[in-house]
């Protein structure tokens, strides 16, 4: 794959643990230049995740049936579930791109530009990571980097059941109100449609041409890692 291309794969609904294992395999492959840069787009079943330094005090009353994972991303606690677009960029940051702050701002800008497709006036808020509509948060971001290859990423509320956030302090921000495309007047937008729009806007911000990649090709890297073909290299 050319350096200016971004392979984009829509994976549908994937359990969190499976998606995490897939990321691990792809990061290892990207570190060895066995694959090019990728963007995984998907949904998760109900799950709560905590960043590597997140406080469990922000888990207020999570349902016992909902799994909780502590993972190697930045940020506090968040919720993933049906109706939410999750994006995991697997990118090798090279040269001047080796700037974590700039990378976070690029993801924010890609989401902001994508939301403009639906005439949603989304913006940043000073001192906070993520994307907001007024005082309401529509997208959360938490990334990890291993030997300058990215993993984890962003979550955009499309038609998310927002009451699920009541069980946590979202992103560790007291009083944080969450919103979604549906809440902002766009109930007609589905997660897969949102994935197509956000992929193009994020690709444009990153200076990449998006190229669709079949899900089975992406999953094949997870299978190779399982049989011992790839170590994590971290």
Instruction: List the pLDDT tens digit at each of the 234 positions of the chain.
Output: 456 899 999 999 999 999 999 999 999 999 999 999 999 999 999 999 999 989 999 999 988 899 999 999 999 999 999 999 999 999 999 988 899 999 999 999 999 999 999 999 999 999 999 999 999 999 999 999 999 999 999 999 999 999 999 999 999 999 999 999 999 999 999 999 999 999 999 999 999 999 999 999 999 877 775 544 443 332
39 phi and psi angles, rounded to 5 deg: -130, 115
pLDDT at 9: 97
Residue 226: the pLDDT is: 54
Phi, psi dihedrals of residue 114, rounded to the nearest 5°: -65, -40
pLDDT in the model for residue 89: 98
Give the phi and the psi of residue 203 in degrees, each rounded to 5: -60, -40
The pTM score is 0.93
Instruction: Please tell me which residue in 41, 107, 171, 178 is annotated as part of the active site.
Output: 171
Among this protein's residues, is 210 annotated catalytic? no
Structure tokens at 55: 């406080």
| Token pair 């395999």 in the structure block, residue | 25
Identify the CA nearest to 158 among candidates 132, 139, 134, 136. 139
Q: Where are the domains of the chain?
A: 41-207
Residues 6+ apart with CB under 8 A from 132: 122, 123, 124, 125, 138
Give the helix ranges, DSSP H, for the chain. Answer: 16-31, 100-116, 191-206, 215-226
Q: What is the pLDDT of residue 62?
A: 85
CA angle 191, 193, 166 (to 5 degrees): 25
State the pLDDT at residue 225: 59
Per residue in 8-47, pLDDT (tens digit) is: 999 999 999 999 999 999 999 999 999 999 999 999 999 9
Q: Domain 41-207 falls in which CATH fold?
A: BirA Bifunctional Protein; domain 2 (3.30.930)
């Amino acid at each position: 794959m050319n350096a200016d291309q971004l392979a984009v794969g829509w994976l549908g609904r994937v359990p969190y643990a499976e998606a995490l294992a897939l990321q691990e395999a792809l990061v290892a492959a990207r570190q060895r230049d066995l694959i090019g840069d990728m963007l995984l787009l998907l949904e998760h079943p109900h799950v709560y995740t905590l960043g590597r330094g997140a406080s469990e005090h922000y888990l207020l009353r999570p349902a016992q049936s909902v799994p909780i994972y502590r993972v190697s991303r930045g940020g506090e606690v968040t919720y993933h579930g049906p109706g939410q677009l999750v994006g995991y960029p697997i990118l090798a940051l090279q040269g001047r791109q080796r700037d974590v702050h700039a990378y976070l701002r690029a993801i924010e800008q890609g989401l902001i530009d994508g939301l403009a497709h639906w005439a949603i006036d989304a913006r940043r808020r000073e001192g906070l990571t993520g994307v907001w509509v007024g005082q309401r948060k529509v997208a959360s971001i938490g990334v990890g980097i291993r030997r300058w290859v990215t993993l984890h990423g962003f979550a955009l509320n499309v038609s998310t059941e927002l009451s699920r956030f009541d069980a946590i302090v979202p992103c560790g921000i007291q009083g944080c109100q969450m919103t979604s495309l549906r809440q902002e007047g766009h109930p007609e937008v589905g997660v897969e449609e949102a994935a197509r729009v956000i992929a193009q806007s994020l690709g444009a911000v990153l200076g990449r041409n998006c190229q669709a990649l079949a899900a089975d090709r992406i999953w094949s890297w997870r299978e190779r890692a399982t049989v011992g073909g790839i170590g994590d290299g971290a």
